[in-house]
Amino acid sequence: MVIIPAVDILGSKCVRLTMGDYGLKKEYELSPLEAALNWQKLGAKRLHLVDLDGAKSGNPDNFDVIRDIIKSVKIPVEVGGGIRDNKTIESYLDVGASYIVLGSILFKDIDSVSSSLLKYKGKIIAGIDLYDEKIAVSGWKEFIDIPLIEAISRLSGNYGIETFIFTDIKKDGMLSGVNLGLISGLAKLNISLIASGGVSALDDIIKLKELNLSNLKGVIVGKALYDGRLDLEKANALLS
């Protein structure tokens, strides 16, 4: 398991949201590029970049900012937000993104990206946002009727998606601790998973490590790192 610092970009600035609410944003003095370079310097083995403008508009609004980050760091980068078609997927991969995170499009119009799911197998990650184990889409404003396990099975079996990021909406940006029960349950499935939401301090990393789940590949951390509640170097030392 690795710690994956999040760099969320809104209006070309580095921000963190609370429960995905754009009205509850916290801006940081570091630019997105400065934040990415800082986390790399402190030992990050991977970065999670999100175009929050793109997530709302459906377009890669911060493509240039993200491209510059990818070109400036030497560690793998996963990119999400505003990726709704094959062209955008290919554009990010062409500039060096290691992984593409797809969310709502997988449930609203998967046919529009199905060729990329097969062509770039292993590079596509499904981002599934959960509220009481119900799947939320479109900026967490809508819920889909497909049961969680059925959705995972379909994406894995029919489209070859191997890795899933599970975000617990209730805990996102809340610094309230990770949902260990949810993670443990999902880890029983034949998939690789990345946890997101709720990490508040080193104790949460310890609890995740103690689950001893071989297919828990990483945990995305945002506010706890930016607010100095979690020391990335100490956390990495613990995991190594």
Check if 8 is active-site: yes
Pairing of strands 2-10, 77-80: unpaired
Pairing of strands 124-131, 2-10: unpaired
- The residue behind tokens 């034949």 is 190
- pLDDT for the residue numbered 56: 86
Residue 172 scores a pLDDT above 70: no
Check if 203 is active-site: no
pLDDT in tens, 144-153: 889 999 999 9
**Residues 6 or more apart from 32 whose CB is under 8 A from it?**
7, 9, 12, 13, 14, 49, 62, 65, 66, 69
Q: Compute the average pLDDT of residues 62-78.
A: 98
Among the options 53, 61, 129, 168, which is catalytic? 129
Among the options 8, 51, 61, 204, which is catalytic? 8
- All domains of the chain, ordered by start, with CATH? 2-239 (3.20.20.70)
Residue 174 scores a pLDDT above 70: no
Residue 37: pLDDT band (50, 70, 90) is: very high
Give yes or no for a contact between 50 and 17, defined as CB atoms under 8 angstroms apart: no
- pLDDT for the residue numbered 165: 97
**Residues 6 or more apart from 39 whose CB is under 8 A from it?**
5, 7, 47, 225, 232
Residue 142: pLDDT band (50, 70, 90) is: confident
Cα 131 to Cα 2: distance, rounded to the nearest angstrom: 24
Gyration radius of the chain's alpha carbons: 16
User: What's this model's pTM, rounded to 2 decimal places?
Assistant: 0.94
Residue 90 scores a pLDDT above 90: yes
